[in-house]
Amino acid sequence: MRRPLAILALPFLLSLPLASQAGPDVLRVGASQELMPTLETLVDQYQIDTHNKVLLIGGAEAELAEQVRQGTPYDLLLTPLHSTERQAQPLTCNGRAMQKLTLVKGERRALATDFVDYLGKHCIDR
């Protein structure tokens, strides 16, 4: 009796991953712990204003870099801007100079770009 029920439930179970993808995209942003106080309030307001979801994950810069090397699926990485960094894409927010590294392409890249644009427009120092 258990097998027929399992077979009947299989189409439902196979549809679950597709249902979870139907919801809004979640932008995965890795940020250095140093920037978290600056970003947390802005992320909250961004989510209210745009109805886009952001998963903000804080950590030490070296830890975030290692996670990226190991394949952690961040869409965007925000770290403090150090004056010696030549190829950094700078962003200043609430007196904090940071660099951004966009790690995705396509539609998710557009979502990451919109988020960075929002930060640039809604920071106190702009």
pLDDT in tens, 9-45: 334 334 333 333 323 478 999 999 988 988 998 999 9
**More confident: 71 or 7:** 71
* Per-chain mean pLDDT for the chain: 74
Beta bridge pairs of residue 56: 29
Q: Which of 17-21, 86-90, 115-119 is most confident?
A: 115-119
Domain boundaries, the chain: 24-122
Distance CA 93, CA 46 (A): 14
Hey, what CATH class is 24-122 in? Answer: alpha beta
> Structure pTM?
0.69
